[in-house]
């Protein structure tokens, strides 16, 4: 699907979508919403007719998968119990929001009394909240929550007994096999399905897990960036913030993913984060956002050995940033250690802007030398190494390495993965020059 923004990931990120055929088809369709996003990925359908087939169907395609997205907690738990999950995995949660559409169908299509309903899988608290939202009493609504893979064995009798006693008018279940058996028994039943918004969020989480599993360094860094709400054209501001984050991410080899209406994820390696924060001395891109967009963003950064751990730590760091009151950013390490990243003093920002201006002049001089050299390409990406720069500018290889490192630090070059060495010795380090930033 999407083709942009994942240069450092190699082949496409492959997500297995595991569920019944109808849910898999819906998820595959919703995946098209991410086609133009920053992650180059593809979805692989893993559909089953019976829950007992999950492990076999998953084993058939698992060698090509980077991450799995299950249609709900039941198939996830069944696959886990069978030892069939060999890659990072998550599932689409079944929450109270899934009830709204089902309850509407119950009224419009069947004329059922919403006060006399039996519901399985969804937590009682969320059922009560959903009913409170629509202004209907849930006092006589019967709920049997999902707890583990054995739960569905009790769902059928739960619904049947309540209906036969006249206590309920319709059963709401999330398990297709239970719905089929209830229908055969003459019990009115409606399938509860997660909302499309919930599926999109789960797919985004799966992409995040997949990205984390593909990063080469053992420590994963995830930043959560949130823009302030209110005042002016928020849509335009969010678009500008997205563009700025993409620009910053290129310089640090990171990936930007939308999180919600207010914010974004920035997924990187620990090494690139260390460089972007000057060894954790300053928060990345906060001052640039303030200078160019005139807003103070909230930023929380989390480290972890897995994407899930890093994302949880990033959320904890974001909460600290929200309650700080000084617009400082925070980093939470995999061991729970909290580090404050104070905003960069204005004088340091001015110094960085001055350094960036000088570096842009150096880049322009280097590009001019490249274009005047008959052996260098005149179109396409401009990729050089220290040896090439040393020859073009008539400087020492050591000075050329310092120059390229400085350009990368200021976002005017992108450090590419080291080339494989043909023999002994240090592999050659190449840089892609960001010529487009010269305007």
Record the pTM: 0.53
Pair 119, 142: CB distance under 8 Å: yes
Q: How many other C-beta atoms are found inside a 10 Å radius of the C-beta of residue 62?
A: 18
According to the model, what pLDDT value does residue 365 have? 87
According to the model, what pLDDT value does residue 303 have? 86
Distance of alpha carbon 417 from alpha carbon 217, whole angstroms = 12
> How much is the mean pLDDT over the chain?
81
Classify domain 7-92 at the CATH topology level. Answer: Rossmann fold (3.40.50)
Laid out side by side, the sheet with 382-385 consists of 382-385, 430-433, 413-415
According to the model, what pLDDT value does residue 218 have? 46
Q: Which of 253-267, 316-330, 365-379 has the lowest mean pLDDT?
A: 365-379
CATH code of 215-344, in short, is 3.30.70.270
Pair 314, 223: CB distance under 8 Å: yes
Which residues contact residue 109 at a Cβ distance below 8 angstroms, ignoring those fewer than 6 apart? none
Q: Average pLDDT of 314-330? A: 81
Give me the residue spans of the domains in the chain: 7-92, 97-191, 215-344, 347-438
Can you name the residues that pair with 16 across neighbouring β-strands? 44, 68
According to the model, what pLDDT value does residue 63 have? 84
pLDDT tens digits for range 263-279:
899 998 877 777 777 65
The domains spanning 97-191 and 347-438 adopt the same CATH topology: no
pLDDT tens digits for range 224-243:
998 887 655 667 788 888 88
Looking at per-residue confidence, does 348 or 312 come out higher? Answer: 312
pLDDT tens digits for range 328-367:
788 887 767 777 776 644 434 444 556 667 778 888 888 8
CATH code of 347-438, in short, is 1.10.10.10
Which SS3 state, helix, strand or coil, does residue 185 take?
coil
According to the model, what pLDDT value does residue 259 have? 87
Pair 225, 267: CB distance under 8 Å: no
* Nearest Cα residue to 385 out of 371, 405, 364, 359: 405
Please say if the pLDDT value at position 291 is more than 70. yes
Pair 397, 344: CB distance under 8 Å: no
Range of 95-109, 319-333, 348-362 with top mean pLDDT:
95-109
Distance of alpha carbon 46 from alpha carbon 50, whole angstroms = 12
According to the model, what pLDDT value does residue 188 have? 95
pLDDT tens digits for range 123-174:
899 899 999 989 999 999 999 999 888 889 899 999 999 999 999 999 999 9
The two beta strands, 117-121 and 170-173, are parallel
- In CATH terms, 97-191 corresponds, of 2.60.120.380, 3.40.50.1100, 3.90.550.10, 3.40.50.300, to 3.40.50.300
Pair 28, 62: CB distance under 8 Å: no
């Amino acid at each position: 699907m999407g083709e942009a923004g994942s240069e450092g990931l190699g082949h496409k990120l492959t997500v297995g979508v595991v569920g019944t055929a109808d849910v898999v088809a819906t998820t595959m369709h919703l995946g098209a919403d991410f086609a133009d996003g920053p992650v180059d990925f593809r979805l692989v359908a893993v559909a089953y007719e019976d829950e007992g087939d999950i492990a076999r169907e998953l084993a058939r395609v698992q060698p090509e998968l980077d991450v799995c997205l299950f249609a709900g907690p039941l198939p996830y738990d069944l696959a886990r119990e069978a030892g069939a999950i060999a890659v990072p995995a998550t599932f689409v949660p079944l929450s109270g929001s899934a009830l709204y559409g089902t309850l509407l169908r119950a009224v419009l299509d069947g004329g059922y009394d919403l006060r006399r309903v039996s519901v399985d899988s969804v937590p009682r608290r969320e059922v009560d909240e959903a009913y409170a939202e629509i202004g209907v009493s849930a006092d006589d609504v019967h709920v049997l929550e999902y707890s583990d893979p054995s739960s569905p064995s009790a769902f059928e009798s739960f619904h049947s007994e309540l209906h036969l006693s006249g206590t309920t008018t319709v059963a709401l279940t999330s398990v297709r096999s239970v719905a089929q058996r209830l229908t055969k028994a003459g019990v009115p039943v409606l399938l509860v399905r997660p909302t499309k918004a919930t599926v999109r969020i789960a797919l985004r989480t799966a992409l995040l897990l997949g990205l984390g599993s593909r990063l080469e360094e053992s420590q994963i860094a995830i930043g959560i960036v949130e823009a302030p709400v209110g005042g002016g054209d928020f849509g335009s501001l969010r678009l500008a913030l997205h563009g700025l984050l993409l620009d910053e991410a290129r310089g640090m080899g990171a990936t930007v993913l939308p999180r919600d209406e207010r914010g974004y994820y920035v997924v990187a390696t620990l090494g690139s984060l260390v460089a972007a924060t000057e060894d954790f001395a300053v928060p990345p891109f906060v001052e640039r956002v303030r200078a160019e967009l005139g807003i103070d963003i909230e930023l929380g950064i989390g480290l972890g050995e897995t994407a899930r751990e890093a994302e949880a730590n990033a959320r904890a760091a974001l909460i600290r940033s929200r309650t700080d009151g000084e617009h400082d950013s925070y980093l939470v390490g995999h061991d729970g250690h909290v580090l404050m990243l104070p905003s960069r003093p204005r004088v340091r920002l001015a110094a960085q802007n001055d350094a960036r201006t000088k570096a842009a002049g150096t880049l322009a001089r280097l590009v001019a030398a490249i274009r005047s050299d008959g052996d260098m390409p005149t179109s396409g990406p401009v990729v050089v190494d220290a040896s090439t720069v040393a020859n073009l500018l008539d400087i020492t290889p050591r000075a050329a390495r310092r120059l390229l490192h400085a350009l990368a630090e200021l976002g005017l070059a992108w450090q590419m993965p080291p080339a494989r060495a043909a023999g002994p010795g240090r592999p050659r380090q190449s840089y892609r020059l960001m010529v487009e930033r010269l305007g």
